[in-house]
Amino acid sequence: MSAKILDGKAVSARLKDELKEEVATLKQQGIQPGLAVIIVGDDPASRIYVNNKKKACEYIGIHSEEYALPAETTQEELLALVDKLNHKADIHGILCQLPLPKHLDEEAVIAAISPKKDVDAFHPVNVGKIMIGNFDFLPCTPAGVMELIAEAGIEIAGKECVVVGRSNIVGKPQAMLLLHQHGTVTICHSRTKNLAEVCRRADILVAAVGVPELIKGDMIKPGAVVIDVGMNRLPDKKLVGDVDFEAAKEVAGAITPVPGGVGPMTIATLMKNTVRAATIAQ
């Protein structure tokens, strides 16, 4: 039997419609949420992500400003821009599209963004708040995953959850959010022994690795919920996830497609965070 498809495109469309209404109400109160997006260099994937974020802002009615800087931008120039945006009253959210060119210090740039405008929730203050469970913003991709799981009516409490990947932007916060919802969480990474065996224990399996189709059908417990965060561009330009979708959908109970699964949820959560930032700034 084929798995239920968790349609991130549909859920995110609904979320964006709700936000559009919320923004219309805020505008009547004289509040217009504003997002600044910084992009450094000309990475084609980053350009697509930034364009999608701008399109979502336009749809919802969020004011957006793009700061496209050349690849040779210095650390000082970038920090000066962040400082300017931190003080700009019509900007409530600041997003610096990652990865930055190698000569720039990502950690320092993230730390320079005001935690109140940190709509990616990457600033150490926000990361700490998430750890404690008392937060203003949640990181967009893991929060989007949680929303998708909740929308499908999937219970997390008491379930075996396995997260493959331990990056600061996806794997680690994803594990923390599942833990907040009372999952029993295991985190896997490149040094994990017997990855297949650990994955097969999962009632909820989240793959955030960046290796095309690493998770095979025989690594999935029958009936499991499989969330594929991966977005990998093959040499023939085809976009695939970290899960072998065709094989996995025959074993899983529910699964996210790539594209159309987690990706749209990430953008919807960014929009939600921006509206929230504007609300709490008042």
Helix (H, G, I), strand (E, B) or coil at 246: helix
Q: Is 97 a catalytic residue?
A: yes
Q: Which is closer to ligand NDP, CB of 32 or CB of 46?
A: 46
Q: List all residues 6 or more positions away from 64 whose beta carbon is below 8 Å from its beta carbon.
A: 34, 35, 36, 37, 53, 54, 57, 58
Residue of minimal CB distance from ligand NDP? 167
Instruction: Tell me how far, at minimum, the Cβ of 174 lies from ligand NDP, in Å.
Output: 9
Q: Which is closer to ligand NDP, CB of 144 or CB of 183?
A: 144
| Other Cβ atoms closer than 10 A to 246 | 9
| Binding stretches for ligand NDP (CB under 6 A) | 141, 164-167, 169-171, 188-192, 195, 208-211, 214, 229-232, 262-263, 266
The beta strands (E) that lie in 143-183 are given as: 160-164
Instruction: Tell me how far, at minimum, the Cβ of 114 lies from ligand NDP, in Å.
Output: 23
Amino acid in position 7: D
Q: Which is closer to ligand NDP, CB of 81 or CB of 187?
A: 187
Q: Of 116, 118, 120, 272, which one is the catalytic site residue?
A: 120
Q: What whole-number distance in Å separates Cα of residue 276 and Cα of residue 282?
A: 10
Q: Which is closer to ligand NDP, CB of 205 or CB of 208?
A: 208
Q: What whole-number distance in Å separates Cα of residue 29 and Cα of residue 205?
A: 43
Instruction: Tell me how far, at minimum, the Cβ of 2 lies from ligand NDP, in Å.
Output: 22
Identify which of 83, 235, 227 has the alpha carbon closest to the alpha carbon of residue 148. Answer: 227
User: What region does 222 belong to: left with phi over 0, alpha with psi -120 to 50, or beta?
Assistant: beta
Q: Is 27 a catalytic residue?
A: no
Instruction: Tell me how far, at minimum, the Cβ of 214 lies from ligand NDP, in Å.
Output: 6
Q: Is 172 a catalytic residue?
A: no
Instruction: Report the catalytic residues.
Output: 53, 97, 120
